[in-house]
Amino acid sequence: SAAARDRLRIAIQKSGRLAEPARALLAACGLSWRESRDRLFCYGETLPVDLLLVRDDDIPGLIADGVCDLGVVGRNVLLEQDGDRRSNGRESAFREWRALGFGGCRLALAVPEAWHWEGPQQLAGKRIATSYPALLSQWLAGEGVDAQVVLLSGSVEIAPRLGQAEAICDLVSSGATLSANQLKPVQTLIESEAVLAGPAGGFDDVRGELADLLLRRLDGALRVRN
């Protein structure tokens, strides 16, 4: 919007894996909020830093559109949406400002357990199911492999059993979901964790000072934890 803002707005996941740890980390930075009735917006009390509670997938776009100033989101989501923008000829509108040390997982390629894995070329002509088409396509292009990317929004790990794909590219933490579906991870595309995301540039009003203050406190809180 055209109006300069004098409060900082941070988007975090409303519910899910990153919701509680994100709030706890921001609270450890000395922030506190007045709970709102609709539980979508939390008004900052100790500092002019407000929270917007949203779906994680919406966070990069909210930053790109200037609706939010910062966000806590998985690196996997941030890189996928940046890759999507760039493959459509748009410039980066957001970037990782800090790695936050929670929500660790990796974006991995998995194939049926029965396969004897010989390397990326084995995927030539195969179908690979994923919710991360930009990152998978980038990786395939880098490896010089011509495979078909099958976009699924969820339940990617059952695609091979359903005959929709031969392999998958999905988030893995323990690997239990993969082995429950007779799949094995063979290649890591991205090591991910929750990150503080912000605009590719900076802020040209009082939000810049607020963001600097928040980053100093965040770095202190992260040092105490790690």
Comparison of 56 and 82: residue with beta carbon closer to Zn ion = 56
Comparison of 44 and 74: residue with beta carbon closer to Zn ion = 74
Look at residue 76 and give the partner it binds from ligand ATP, Zn ion, none, a contact being a CB closer than 5 to 8 Å depending on partner kind. ligand ATP
For residue 221, the minimal CB distance to Zn ion (Å) is 25
3-state SS string over the chain?
CCCCCCCEEEEEECCCCCHHHHHHHHHHCCCCEECCCCCCEEEECCCCEEEEEECHHHHHHHHHCCCCCEEEEEHHHHHHHHHHHHHCCCCCCEEEEEECCCCCEEEEEEEECCCCCCCHHHHCCCEEEECCHHHHHHHHHHHCCCCEEEECCCCHHHHHHHCCCCEEEEEECCCHHHHHCCEEEEEEEEEECEEEEEECCCCCCCHHHHHHHHHHHHHHHHHHHC
Comparison of 122 and 177: residue with beta carbon closer to Zn ion = 177
Look at residue 18 and give the partner it binds from Zn ion, ligand ATP, none, a contact being a CB closer than 5 to 8 Å depending on partner kind. ligand ATP
Look at residue 105 and give the partner it binds from Zn ion, ligand ATP, none, a contact being a CB closer than 5 to 8 Å depending on partner kind. ligand ATP
For residue 98, the minimal CB distance to Zn ion (Å) is 21
Comparison of 44 and 74: residue with beta carbon closer to ligand ATP = 74
For residue 71, the minimal CB distance to ligand ATP (Å) is 12
Look at residue 77 and give the partner it binds from ligand ATP, Zn ion, none, a contact being a CB closer than 5 to 8 Å depending on partner kind. ligand ATP
Q: Does 57 bind Zn ion (CB under 5 A)?
A: yes
